[in-house]
Chain A
């Protein structure tokens, strides 16, 4: 699949939630687009990633 524009190898069946955790994303600071649409946080655990998926994870940084 694609992660932030780069090819990323999926070597197991994994949910979006597990994927984000394993890749050290802080769930409270991100917005995730799956194939262009924002994914509601409540559904992260229900989504199983597919080889044809394109994911964009936007991590907010502090300051304002």
Chain B
């Protein structure tokens, strides 16, 4: 039978995990079979995908990517690897969405933001003190290189406007609207729906404050238009933005993107 071990396909008559580990002579700190981590001596079946990971050992480059996605549900990685997702705005929503999609292995990311990292960003956005003053797109690209070097990350330090939406986002499967400013949000959603009819957009509205997490949800407004958030709680004087609800909303957006990339259109 054929099985895949640490990213390499092999033909074998080995029938259990223990035998396999003896055969390849690897320390077996972590065993993951078809996305599931186990310490049991599972019987192997045709087409099983197995990762055998020794803790504290830096794997060879050729094995690293397969180990990094070993906990993914089978088939997810190969599908998202081909996808193209653009993230418009790299603040509390966009920086966190970018990191989640990079960890998921989305193969092509476009990160767009005109701004640089400043201290008031650090309460909810995925940046460090060492990034202060750097363009957000540059800071994020450098972090993603440390998280998943196997994906392509393109960056643009420009302001997204009605006049450059088509040029920036043509050819992408999905756009995440991740702006802070409600006028920019409305502009991007309206322009994409009018002028990029083949592209799906996952937008966000309403994640300020610390009211209930459970008010944040994902809705499908139209065929290619989804919106995440509570739709009500905006940032305003006396109602700030904090990491938990902003990241919950970013998680809604990232999971909707993942679902769309896997061909699922329901929320």
Interface residues of A (CB under 8 A from B): 28-31, 33, 36-38, 40-41, 56, 58-64
Contacts and interface: CB of A to CB of B under 8 A. Distances in A.
Report, nearest first, the 4 A-B pairs whose CB atoms are least far apart.
Answer: A61-B234, A63-B235, A60-B182, A64-B180
Interface of B: 89, 91-94, 178-183, 185-187, 189-190, 193-194, 203-208, 221-222, 225, 227, 231-236, 241, 246
A36 B223 CA distance: 10
Nearest to A32: B190
A3 to B, nearest CB: 15
B222 A38 contact: yes
A63 B183 contact: no
SS of A interface (majority): mixed
Contacts of A61: 182, 205-206, 208, 231-235
A63 B234 contact: yes
Contacts of B234: 61-63
SS of B interface (majority): mixed
A62 B185 CA distance: 8
Nearest to B245: A63
Contacts of B233: 61, 63
Nearest to B209: A63
Contacts of B194: 38, 40
Nearest to A36: B222
Contact of A64 (B183, B207, B222, B236): B207
Nearest to A63: B235
Given A63-B241, A64-B91, A33 B180 contact: no
Contacts of A28: 183, 186-187
Nearest to B193: A38
Nearest to A38: B193
